[in-house]
Structure 1
Amino acid sequence: MAREDGRKADPQGPESTPLWRNRDYNIWWSGVAMSKLGTSVSTLAFPLLVLASTGSAAAAGVVGTCESVGLVAGLLPAGAAADRYPRRALLVGSSLVQLASMGIVFWIVAAGHLWLSLIAVLALVQGLASAAFAGAAAPLVKRIVPESQVRTAFARVEARDYGAQLAGAPIGGALFSWARWAPFLLDALSFGAVALACLFLRTPLGPDAADRPAERPPLRRDLGAGLAFIRGSAFLRYALLWMALMNLFFTGIGFMFIVTLRRHGASPSQIGTAESIATACGFGGALAAGWVVRRLSGYRIILFVSWMVAAGVGGIMVLASRPWLAALCLGASIVFVTPLNVVFASGMVAMVPDAMIARVMTSANMASQSCGWLAPVVCGALADGLGVEVPLIAIAVGLALLAAANHVVPVVRQLGEPPESSRESEPRTDPDERTVL
C-alpha cells in the first residue's frame, strides 16, 4: 500500500492479526460509533422538537427532507473530492462542520428560539457534510484491514450501526424529556469524537501520490468517473439496479409496517415497541453476519436473502393484527439483509482501484438511494385508495421478481466464495474480467 507521500508502506500488518488488535480499525470503529449514536439521538429529537413547537407534521418533514437532499446532492462531488484531496483533512473538516451546525441547533434550542428556516438550512448543511464524510470514508476499511478480513470488518460495521440505532432512540427520548437541547449537544460532541479518531489514525488514508495524474482532469469528468466505471462492469450495473429497487421496497416496508399496524388497532406505544423488536433482531443479525459471510458464498447469501425478505412481507400481512409477531417477521427480514449488505459492500470495495474508490462508492450510494423517496408517496396513495394489503402485496411481488432474477442473471455468480478461499490476492481491473471476491 502506498503512503500519502507516494512511498510504499504496509500499515495493515500481518494478516493473521485479529481485528480486535488492529489499532486503527478499532479507533475508527469507536469514533464512528459515537457519531452514529449521536446522529440516532438527534434523528429522533428533531421531529419531536418541531412537532412540540409547531404541531405540524409537514414542518417536521421539512427538516428530514432537507438533510436527505443535501446528502444525495453532495455524494458525487464528495467522491471526486476524496480522490483528489487528502482524505484525512476531508474527514476532519466535514466532522467539524457538523459539530458547528449541530452546536448552533443546540444554542438556539437552549435559548428558546426555534427558527424553522434556520434549522432547515442547518439540516441541509448536515446532509452536505455527511456526503463529504461518506466520500472520504469509503476507502478506509480497505486501507486499514487486510483483504482477507474485509468482510468481517464490514460485518462489525453493520453491528455498530444497528447498535447505535437501537440505543439512540431510547436515549434520545429520555434526553429530550429531560431537556430539549440535550440530544443536540450530545450529537455535537459526537462529531468532535469522530474528528479526533480520524486524527489519531496512523494508516495513510490517501489518495496516494502515485495514483494522482500529472494533470488533473476537469472536475466535470471526475464527477462522472464513478458512474462510468459502474457502467463498464456488468456486475455493478446489475447490483446497483437491484439495490436501488431493494431500497425502494424496504422503504415501503418500513412505512407500511407502521400504517398497517395502526390500521389494525395497534397503539403508538405498541408500534414503537414492535419497531424496537425488529431493530433488536437486526442487531442480532449484524452480530452474526461475520460468522455467516465467512462460511457461505456471496451467491448463496443473495439467493437465500432474496426469498426470505419476500416471505417476511407475507408474514407481516398475515400477522398484522398481532404486532409482536409482525415485528418478528420484519426483524427476520432485517436479520437476513445484514449479511447481504456485507457481501455487496466488501465485493464492491474489492473490485474498485483505490485511486477512484471514493468516486465509485459515492456514485453507488447515490444510485442505490435514488428510488427510496418514492415509497411513502406511492404506498400511502395505494393504502388510502385500495387498502393496506395492496401495497404490501405489490412489495412482496416485486421482491419475488428480484429474487427470481438472481437465479437467471449470470453476473450474480461473480459473488463467488468467501475471501479465505480466493486464489487471487488482487482484483483484476479489466471491465470485462473483473473479479468481485
Structure 2
Amino acid sequence: MNADNSSPSPRSSQLPHPSPSPVPTVPPNPASGHDRSGTAVPPTSRPLWHSRAYRDWFAADTADVCAVSLRTFSIPLVGLALSGSPFVAGLLVTAESAIGLVLMSFGGAIADRHDRRRLMIALGLIGLALSVVATGMLASGTMTTLAFAVLVVLFAVTNGLLGPSNDAMLKSIVPMERFAKAQAIREARESCVELSGGVIGGLLYRLAGWLPFLVSTILYGIASATALRLPKRTGADGIEAVDAAATSTATPTVTATSGDAPSFLMQFIEGWRWTLTRRVILAAIVQGAIINVACVGSIVGVQIMLAARGTDAALIGLVGTATGIAAFAGSLAAGWLVDHVPTGLIIMLTFSVLTAAMIPLLFTDSYAVIVVCLAAPALLFPALNAGELGFIYGRTPDDMQGRVSTVFETTVGVPGALAPALVGGLLQAPGFGFRAVMMLVVVCSAAGLVLACVTATRHIPLPEHWSQVEL
C-alpha cells in the first residue's frame, strides 16, 4: 500500500464521508479559499466567536490546558521538595509523560466511540477532584512522596484516556470550512500559555507549594462548567449541533455498521505496519526520538539542577518563558523558511544549531548561559516541524491520518518521556552531576544530526516538489 493508491477504510458514524477525489500530495492552504478538492470555499457568514458552542469549547479547553501547564511545572519541584532526590523528581515527570503517551492512542479511540461532551465533563470533574486532594494534602503537610506519586499517575491516566476528547470535540462543533481558522486560534493560545505558564507557575509555587494545585482546581471547575454548556448529541448519527449555519454546512456523515467496519485491532496493527514501512517516516521517527531525548533531557536537567541549588522558582519558570519567546519568534518566520529552504536542509540546520548550543553547557551551569543555549535552537524548531510534519501528513492517505499521527507521536515521544528518570540519576553521578546530563544531551544531538545527514529525510525538497518524493 502506498500513499497514492490506498483505498479508504470504513469510517464510524461520527466521521465524514471519505472524499472521492485523489489524496492531495501537498496539504491545502487554508488561506487560499479552496478546500481539499480545489473548489472554492464560500466565505463564512459570521466569526467563530458568534457561536456559543465554540466559545464554550474554547473556554473549557483553555482552562484544561492552563491547569495541565501549572501541574506539569509543579510536579518536579514538589517531588524534589518531598523526597529530596533529583532521581525521584525525574521519575515522577517520566511516569506522567510515559503513561499519558501510552494511553493516548486508546483515548483517541474512546473519543471516537463515545459522547465527547460527557468525556470533557468527566475530564474536568476528575481533574478537579484530584487537584482538591493534592491541595489539601500539601497545605496540611500530610503529603508523602508515595501519595504524590499516586496522584501523578492518576492525573496521567485521566489525561491519557480523556484528554483527546477536547481535540475531537472541536471537529464536531466547527464546520469544515472554519476548522483552519479555529486551529490557528488554538495555536496562538498554546503559544500564550507556553510563554506565561512557567512564570505564573513559578510565582505561585514561590508563594506556596500547594497554590498551583489550588488554581488548577479552579481551572478544572471552569472546564467542567463550560463543557456542560456544550451541545448534546442530536440523534443517532452522533453529530453535535452547533447552530443552523454550522449544521447546514457540515459534511454529511456515513453510518458504519459492525458488519462492514474492520476491528479496532486490525486497524491498529495496519497503522503501525504501514507507518513503520515508509522510509522517510521511519527516518523521521528515529531522528525525532533521539532528538527528543536531548531536548527533554536538557530542559528537565536544567529545571531540577536549578531547583536543587536553591534557584528562585520564578527564575526557573523564566527559562521556559525565554524558550517560548524564541519559539514564537521562530514560528513567525517558519512559513517563509519552509517555502524558500528545502525541508531536508532545515532539519540538518536545526540539529546543527541544537548540537552547537548544547556544547557550552558541558563547561558551565551559569543561568544566563543556560537561557541563551536553550533558546537558540527553539528559533528553528517551528520551521522543522512545519516542513517535516507537513510533508509526512501531506503524503499520507486520508484514511491513515489518525493512525500515522498516533504511531509517530508515540514512538517519538516515549523515549523523551523516559528521559527524566535517566536525567535524575545522572544528576546524582559523583563528580559529574549536571555535566553528565549535558554529555547525554550532546551525544543525542550529534547522533540526530548524523542521521539527518545520511537518511531519507535529507531529500525532502521545497513544498512545490513534495509530490515527487515518496514516503
1:359 deviation in Å?
3.6
Measured in 2, the distance between the counterparts of 1:175 and 1:275 equals 11
Aligned to 2:159: 130
Q: Residue deviations 1:250-280, cap 9 Å, x none?
A: 1222245468889xxx963379637624532
1:177 deviation in Å?
5.1
SS in 2 for 1:371: helix
Measured in 1, the distance between the counterparts of 2:328 and 2:349 equals 16
Aligned to 2:285: 240
Q: How does 1:148-187 map to 2 (within 5 A)?
A: 160-176=189-205, 178=207, 181-187=210-216
Aligned to 2:6: none
Q: Which runs of 5+ in 2 are unaligned?
A: 1-10, 20-29, 35-40, 232-239
Q: How does 1:261-300 map to 2 (within 5 A)?
A: 268-269=310-311, 273=315, 276-277=318-319, 279-297=321-339, 298-300=343-345
Measured in 2, the distance between the counterparts of 1:48 and 1:295 equals 38
Distance 1:386 1:154, change over 3 A: farther
Distance 1:101 1:351, change over 3 A: farther
SS in 1 for 2:415: coil
Is it true that 1:396 corresponds to 2:442 in the alignment?
Answer: yes
Q: Which runs of 5+ in 1 are unaligned?
A: none
Is it true that 1:314 corresponds to 2:359 in the alignment?
Answer: yes
SS in 2 for 1:268: coil
Aligned to 2:3: none
Aligned to 2:455: 409
1:132 deviation in Å?
2.5
1:374 deviation in Å?
4.0
Which letter does structure 1 place at the counterpart of 2:292? N
- Which is worse superposed, 243-252 or 98-107? 98-107
Measured in 2, the distance between the counterparts of 1:133 and 1:343 equals 30
- Which is worse superposed, 106-115 or 20-29? 20-29
What is the identity percentage for the equivalent residue pairs of Structure 1 and Structure 2?
21
Q: How does 1:327-366 map to 2 (within 5 A)?
A: 327-352=371-396, 357-366=401-410
Measured in 2, the distance between the counterparts of 1:123 and 1:390 equals 27
Measured in 2, the distance between the counterparts of 1:206 and 1:83 equals 17
SS in 1 for 2:414: coil
Measured in 2, the distance between the counterparts of 1:379 and 1:51 equals 10
Q: Residue deviations 1:166-189, cap 9 Å, x none?
A: 423343344345555442232133
Measured in 2, the distance between the counterparts of 1:261 and 1:5 equals 48
Q: TM (normalized to structure 2)?
A: 0.69
C-alpha contact 2:128 2:218 (8 A) present in aligned 1 = yes
C-alpha contact 2:301 2:424 (8 A) present in aligned 1 = yes
C-alpha contact 2:344 2:459 (8 A) present in aligned 1 = yes
Aligned to 1:302: 347
Measured in 2, the distance between the counterparts of 1:33 and 1:330 equals 26
Which letter does structure 1 place at the counterpart of 2:107? A
Which letter does structure 2 place at the counterpart of 1:363? V
Say which structure, 1 or 2, has more relative contact order (CA 8 Å, 6+ apart). 2
SS in 2 for 1:43: helix
Aligned to 1:199: 230
Distance 1:360 1:8, change over 3 A: closer
Larger Rg: 2
Count of equivalent residues: 417
Distance 1:112 1:31, change over 3 A: same
C-alpha contact 2:13 2:256 (8 A) present in aligned 1 = no
1:207 deviation in Å?
12
Distance 1:47 1:267, change over 3 A: closer
Which letter does structure 2 place at the counterpart of 1:413? H
Measured in 1, the distance between the counterparts of 2:305 and 2:79 equals 25
SS in 1 for 2:352: helix
Measured in 2, the distance between the counterparts of 1:54 and 1:207 equals 55
Is it true that 1:253 corresponds to 2:298 in the alignment?
Answer: yes
Q: TM (normalized to structure 1)?
A: 0.73
- Which is worse superposed, 162-171 or 191-200? 191-200
CA RMSD of aligned residues (A): 4.7
C-alpha contact 2:108 2:164 (8 A) present in aligned 1 = yes
Aligned to 2:26: none
C-alpha contact 2:15 2:253 (8 A) present in aligned 1 = yes
C-alpha contact 2:330 2:382 (8 A) present in aligned 1 = no
Q: Residue deviations 1:94-146, cap 9 Å, x none?
A: 34433333234345556664365554333222212212245445667888597
- Which is worse superposed, 37-46 or 104-113? 104-113
| Counterpart selection for 1:371 from 412, 415, 430 | 415
1:29 deviation in Å?
5.7
